[in-house]
Amino acid sequence: MLDLKFIRENAGAVKDAIRVKGVPLDLDDLLTLDRELLGVKQRVEALQTERNANAKLVPKVTPDERPALIQKGKDLAEEIKALEPSLRAHEEQLRQLLLRVPNIPHPGVPVGRDDTENVELRREGVVPTFDFTPLDQVELLEGQGWSDFERVARVSGSRSYLLKGDGALLEMAVQMFAMSFLAGRGFTPLSTSALVRPDTLVASGHFPGDEESVYKLEGDELMLAGTAEVPVNSLYAGEQLMYEQLPMTFAAISGAFRREAGSAGRDVRGLIRVHEFRKVEQYVICRADETEGLTWFRTILENAEALLRALELPYRVVQNCTGDMGAGKVLMYDIETWVPSENLYRETHSCSYLGDWQARRTGLRYRDGDGKLVYAHTLNNTGIATPRILVPLLENHQQADGTIRVPEALRPYLGGRAVIGQPVRSA
């Protein structure tokens, strides 16, 4: 959410943001409603002033004059009461429009319609070459007996997954490694629920706009979040933080759920796109300073890259264009990890800086050095998301006999083993 005063004074810049981000919103409608609301407020305030002045006159006039003034006070009160529904309706309509206003992209963000127009910044690591015919993720999992897609589909429907044996241990090892790694870099570990109230999804900026992707628990007024960013963002909602408390940095692990509405037929095989997954999310609340915010952006991006380097996976960093960065983002980079079976990089991490856009929706404020209440800035970044990261992990580290070489960073979490799985074919 942008400050209404800022929108009024920078309508041109806001209209440009609406255009380049492809947001279905007419800013002129919002500004017209704003003026109408201001007119209603001014009329109510004028009537209240008149009523107060009238009330002060009542004890000063003669008994004969008093009934007329009392009646006038009642008439003014009725007129004010009659305007209140219009006032409330205008306020709610304006709020709903304000929730759809996108943030202003950082200068230099490429203008584009969708992810096909993102810009590659650099590539890291060495793409593996194999002297044998490599297997894909499903072949590796099924060959080792680490998955059972048919049985889990009967239990949980399509786009579900089940891992067993060393496959399950590998997933947990990746999660524990990521949590330990980020804790070592000063991020406070959190284990949080994916169950959230609908208002938290408004606060995070997922609503309005992403309702079709969210699972709803009818009767409980709860929903299932697709990232720990949602509950963590609302942990301090409405509170007044102290200057000295910032920055606050978290490594939050939670279940995550997405209906994937509108993506029928895409990536339905294996572990790439599933309805339920687990995610370690980096989340930062920092002071309202763009320089500090961009420094944290680079920090959480580097953390994610360091995790991938430790997992010995080749990847590339891309800058998201305006049409692929989401309404609330000032700046957004994706990290895409190499998937040998597809001969391409797949998105595994997203890094976002939102300025105070999210904090205004959430009520995340702090007192600055002068004691003034200021909205904080927020950032988030994927630490690790499983099972998706297992796809490049398995495929890049497969060996000729079908076993999987374990990166050194994961070995302490897998009993010190350098290799997992049994030979399933001749090397």
- Written as six digits, the tokens of 366 are 């702090």
Q: What residues have CB less than 8 Å from 71, skipping those under 6 apart?
A: none
- Which ranges in 347-389 belong to alpha helices (H)? 357-362
Is 350 annotated in the active site?
yes
CA distance 319 to 121: 7
CA distance 115 to 313: 22
Is 361 annotated in the active site?
no
Chain-centre distance for alpha carbon 407: 30
For every residue of 288-329, DSSP letters joined together read S-HHHHHHHHHHHHHHHHHHHHHTT--EEEEEPPGGGS-TT-
**Which residue in 291, 321, 288 sits closest to 116, CA to CA?**
321
Is 221 annotated in the active site?
no
Is 258 annotated in the active site?
yes
C-alpha separations of 140 from 39, 82, 193, 307, 394 in Å: 67, 70, 32, 23, 7
Is 388 annotated in the active site?
yes
**Which residue in 113, 133, 141, 164 sits closest to 324, CA to CA?**
113
Backbone angles phi and psi of 422, in degrees to 5: -110, 145
Among 51, 159, 278, 388, the one annotated catalytic: 388
Helix, strand, coil shares of the chain, percent, nearest 5, are 45, 20, 35
**Which residue in 360, 391, 398, 394 sits closest to 377, CA to CA?**
360
Contact 323, 116 (CB under 8 A): no
CA distance 282 to 50: 54
Q: What residues have CB less than 8 Å from 310, skipping those under 6 apart?
A: 177, 181, 407, 409
Among 147, 204, 234, 350, the one annotated catalytic: 350
The residue type at 222: L
Among 347, 367, 405, 411, the one annotated catalytic: 347
Among 51, 258, 278, 361, the one annotated catalytic: 258
Among 19, 66, 273, 367, the one annotated catalytic: 273
Which residues are the active-site residues?
258, 273, 347, 350, 388
